[in-house]
Amino acid sequence: MESAKFIISPSTRTRIKRSKFNPKWRKVELFDNRNFKIAAKYLLVAGSQHVQTMATGGEYLPECWQDDERMNFLFSAFPDNRDLNPHHWDSKLQFWADLVVHSSRSLDELCLDCSTLAQRFKRSGKTPLGLPVVLNEMIRQGKIQKLSEFQSGVDAGWVSWGFDLMVKRPLRWTFGTLTGRNHGNPEGTYLLLDLVKEKAEAVLTTHEKSVEFESTDHVVEYRTLLEQCRHCCKDQDSLELALLHLRKLRKVCIFQSDQGEKLVKFASSAHKTVSPVTDVEVGILRLKKTEASLMQQVEKLQSDSDRCRTDAKVYLHKGLKNAAKNALRRKQHIQKILEKREGSLETVHGLVRRIQDAESDRMVIDAYRAGVSAFRQTVDKAGLTPDAVDETMMDVQEVIETSNEISDSIAGGQADMSGLDLDMSGLEEELADLLAEETPSVTSGLTPSEVELKLPSVPASPVGGAVAAGGNTPVSPHQAAGRSDTARRLLLTE
């Protein structure tokens, strides 16, 4: 009889394929711990229990995972002596160390459980035999650390934590790994330090993006921070490990308020390490919480008021005047409470904004002070004083006057050297005479009587009947005009 199959896709979406017998399901529990592990319980198929689970390989598995020859070598145990084949020994160690980190990053897991880690890499019913050697080497290199050691180092401070990590680590692990001998299998839960650092950086970046005012936004509630970091920390354990690492770096401090609330303070951008929490910061946080609570109350009261008004309209439409009056009476009561809440909200909002503006004002004043200090230093360095400036300007005026005197002296010396005392009016008259002499005239050399134009007398007969001088031959008007012009030219040339 064909059994049902469960397939969990790498994107964690579940698809269920049932057999052609359409089996009935009594109870199925699917567990997806981001490593695509599946457990099925109580499956009834046509009266028989047949369970077949198929887990797809993780996205972290390398391409050589399907190469039997390669994987047989990698799944084999490490030799007792590394010197027999250092290249193979190191390549196998590097393969599994990288795969442990890569698979944990892909599964978003910061901790390694040594008892179940081998099941993550189970292939064809076999588990890698050399994982203890790999884990010992990762411990020696500082890539993983026992969770209890990581947590205990917080209270002792980051200096003692570093001392515990480097000095108090069991020496037998280091010696056994260097010689290639496995003198013990790591047990318990270990922390992948590189992944914890990545989570810590993500948490710190998330907080910095949420900061709007330096004076009020660096102290946050733990539960608020947990909601903000959902995209980078899948659960509370991941966030706490990231905060522990930041605490080692003195980037955050965690404390509890008088009301029992867990609060987290981050270091500001102007300081490399976090400072102790002050009463003022706790008071500001309370103001912000009160502001948020009042805003929620105002929104709810406004919604209730609108609903009462809507109910009154519905009652009037149905003819229920008393019910409509009661709805309006409730609306008036809600409006009075709403006005009080809005007044309180405005007061608290004003206090918070004044605190935030005070920080901005302080920054402006600091900028002014820095500018004044820079100006004074520049003036002192350059030797700029009112007396020095006045003296310099007087020197400039004196230099200009001296330059003008020099120019006048040079011009006067050139005039003296030429030996000429020029009379401009005399020059103009002489120039006019020269122009008159050079002007050509066609009447030069003629007497006034000769200059007069001598024209022939008007003929007695019509122009058409004119005759040539000294004869009786008739002359045409055109010929007569031509002869007259000739006579004039001859007269002028004489």
What pLDDT is recorded for position 32? 38
Domain boundary among 56, 76, 95: 56
- Residue 357 resides in a domain: yes
Is residue 469 domain-resident?
no
In terms of domains, do 45 and 146 share one? no
Q: How many domains does the chain have?
A: 4
Are residues 214 and 153 part of one domain?
no
Residue 484 resides in a domain = no
The chain-wide mean pLDDT, for the chain, equals: 73
The answer on 254 and 315 residing in a single domain is no
CA-CA distance, 487 to 494, in Å (whole number)? 11
Closest CA to 297 of 224, 263, 348, 227: 348
* Residue 37 lies inside a defined structural domain of this protein: yes
- Looking at the structure, tell me whether residues 181 and 78 fall in a common domain: yes
CATH number at residue 245: 1.10.10
Domain boundary among 162, 187, 212: 187
The region that residue 93 occupies, defined by phi over 0 for left and psi between -120 and 50 for alpha, beta otherwise, is alpha
Q: Is the model more confident about 448 or about 287?
A: 287
Indicate whether 34 and 86 sit together in one domain: no
| Domain span holding position 134 | 63-187
The answer to whether 274 and 250 have CB atoms below 8 angstroms apart is yes
- 241: pLDDT confidence band, cut at 50, 70 and 90? very high
- Residue 37 shares a structural domain with residue 111: no
Asked if 150 and 221 sit in the same domain, the reply is: no
The answer to whether residue 413 sits within a structural domain is no
Distance, in Å, from the CA atom of 182 to the CA atom of 136, rounded to the nearest integer, reads 8
Q: What is the enclosing helix (H) or strand (E) of 433? A: helix 424-438
Q: Identify the domain boundary among 322, 350, 380.
A: 380
Q: How far is CA 341 from CA 280, 293, 305, 348, in A?
A: 24, 10, 14, 11
Q: Does 102 lie in the same domain as 201?
A: no
- The reply to whether 310 and 256 lie within a common domain is no
Domain annotation covers residue 115: yes
- Model pTM? 0.55
First to last CA, the chain: 154
User: What tens digit of pLDDT does each residue of 281-296 get?
Assistant: 788 888 888 888 899 9
Q: Mean per-residue pLDDT for 399-413? A: 82
Q: For 174-221, what is each residue's pLDDT tens digit? A: 333 333 444 467 888 899 999 999 999 999 999 999 888 877 788 888
108 and 27 in a single domain? The answer is no
What strands, in cross-sheet order, belong to the sheet with 14-17?
14-17, 5-8, 52-55
100 occurs within a structural domain: yes
User: Residue 481 falls within a domain, yes or no?
Assistant: no
What's the CA gap between 399 and 393, in Å, rounded?
10
